[in-house]
Amino acid sequence: MNTRPQIATTGRPQALSATFNQDNSCFSIGLDSGFCVYNTDPCELQISRSLGAGIGVASMLGRANYLALVGGGRSPKFPPNKVIIWDDIKQKAVITLEFRSEVHAVRLSRQRIIVVLIGTVHIYAFSSPPAREHVFETHDNPLGLVALSSKFLAFPGRTPGHVNIFDLATGIVSIIPAHSTPLSAITISPQDDLLATASETGTLIHVYSTATSRMIRELRRGIDKAAIFSLAISPSSSRLAVTSDKNTLHVFELPSLSSVSQTPARPSSSHSTASNAPSGDNRRYSMLSKLPLLPKYFSSEWSAAHAPFEGGGRGALGWIGEDSVVAVGIGGKTGEARWEKFVIVEAENGGGIECIREGWRRYLDND
């Protein structure tokens, strides 16, 4: 992997959004001139479509030929209040959904089309024409926060900081009062067992069981306010990765749900600190967590490993294995749309894990 400094060039497409497909094997990029699709590892261009105008949202359906497109940028290809289901084999729109306000996000499964507006989430059957199944009101959601798994749909509730978990099979909605301030990121684990949330404060991440809605961990990213860009849970639900505008990727260890009943959500005086944790336990707490009656800051669990993250903007984050995670930035203030791969390894001193950036590239240079 070439990690030498590269000379900036002009006239490159500008990335407007980045979204992984369901298994993180590919990611799609909305551009000011169309859209493109990349293989995740290695980072290789698979599809490039020049449409002559901007695509603000490009969301894939697995590795199938369908994508959901929404116009964006300074010169949108489609009105921002329309969702276009694009058949890339035919290279044309096959379904169009129109709304009264701007579309902020779209997610696809083989059964459903999920559309996120500023204050509502719409669920459609993936049919022609699509049949609307549900509409949920939400708190203002300019980030288009939504998480879709095989069993659940998670999205902001009507109260700031609350999360709704919609069971796709039963239609039951569980409401979790996750934070006291509006949400900035949410994700559901690939195994459908965990939900992770962060708020606009950006210091704490909460992890819940989707089965019981119980919080099983409170994780601390830091002590300063930050904009959390992405959350992602590893394939076996054992790790959580976090990116923010602090330009750091944090990796937290998560407990197995079978041990949760014996382990409190927050550390007590019986928990070990990172320096003397028993073998196999990489959880890290403040050295003062053993003292009673101290603020929550001292009992929150800190990340097990971290590494510099240079991809700008919100972008996307996806695990490609239990020990490998990829971050895709869309530029932001840095102006660089980067693909970065990180690997998790055992620390040399045997005291936990380390997060190492294995490679990176400016993926739009592939075009």
pLDDT band at 285 (very low <50, low <70, confident <90, very high): very low
Looking at this protein, which amino acid is placed at residue 299? S
Q: Which of 135, 130, 105, 131 is nearest to 118 (CA)?
A: 105
Structure confidence at residue 256 (pLDDT): 79
- Per-residue pLDDT reduced to its tens digit, 291-303: 444 445 445 799 9
Structure confidence at residue 299 (pLDDT): 56
Structure confidence at residue 346 (pLDDT): 93
- Per-residue pLDDT reduced to its tens digit, 161-171: 999 999 999 99
Q: How many CA atoms lie within 13 A of 303 on its CB side?
A: 20
For residue 11, give both structure tokens.
């006239």
Going edge to edge, which strands form the sheet with 26-31? 15-20, 26-31, 34-39, 44-50
Q: Is the pLDDT of residue 240 over 50?
A: yes
- Per-residue pLDDT reduced to its tens digit, 110-167: 999 999 999 999 999 999 999 999 999 999 999 999 999 999 999 999 999 999 999 9
- 355 Cβ neighbours under 8 A, 6+ residues apart: 249, 251, 305, 306, 307, 342, 343, 344
CB atoms within 10 A of CB 233: 23
Q: Are 227 and 202 in contact (CB under 8 A)?
A: yes
β-bridge mates for residue 301, sequence order: 219
Question: Rounded distance, CA 350 to CA 89, Å?
Answer: 51
Structure confidence at residue 331 (pLDDT): 82
pLDDT band at 22 (very low <50, low <70, confident <90, very high): very high
Please name the residue that has the structure tokens 């045997």.
Answer: 350
- Per-residue pLDDT reduced to its tens digit, 341-365: 999 999 887 779 999 999 999 999 8
Which carries the bigger pLDDT value, residue 330 or residue 263? 330
- Per-residue pLDDT reduced to its tens digit, 178-230: 999 999 999 999 999 999 999 999 999 999 999 999 999 999 998 999 999 99
For residue 305, give both structure tokens.
């490993």
Question: Rounded distance, CA 59 to CA 113, Å?
Answer: 11
Structure confidence at residue 367 (pLDDT): 52
CA distances to 110, 217, 250, 288, 348 from 351, in Å: 44, 21, 17, 20, 8
Q: Is the pLDDT of residue 11 over 90?
A: no
Going edge to edge, which strands form the sheet with 66-71? 55-60, 66-71, 82-87, 92-98
Question: Rounded distance, CA 229 to CA 200, Å?
Answer: 10
- 300 Cβ neighbours under 8 A, 6+ residues apart: 204, 218, 219, 220, 266, 285, 286
DSSP letter at 275 equals: G
CB atoms within 10 A of CB 150: 13
Question: Rounded distance, CA 251 to CA 241, Å?
Answer: 5
Average pLDDT over residues 315-336: 88
Question: Rounded distance, CA 164 to CA 162, Å?
Answer: 7
Q: Are 329 and 315 in contact (CB under 8 A)?
A: yes
Percent of the chain with pLDDT over 70: 84
For residue 244, give both structure tokens.
């923010």
Q: Is the pLDDT of residue 271 over 60?
A: no
Dihedral (Cα; 81, 85, 88, 93), 10-degree rounding: -70
- Per-residue pLDDT reduced to its tens digit, 29-61: 999 999 999 999 999 999 999 999 999 999 999
Burial annotation 200-219 (CB, 10 A radius, 16+ → b, else e): bbbbbbbbbebeeeebbbbb
Question: What domains appear along the chain, each with residue ranges and CATH number?
Answer: 178-367 (2.40.128.630)
Read off the pTM: 0.86
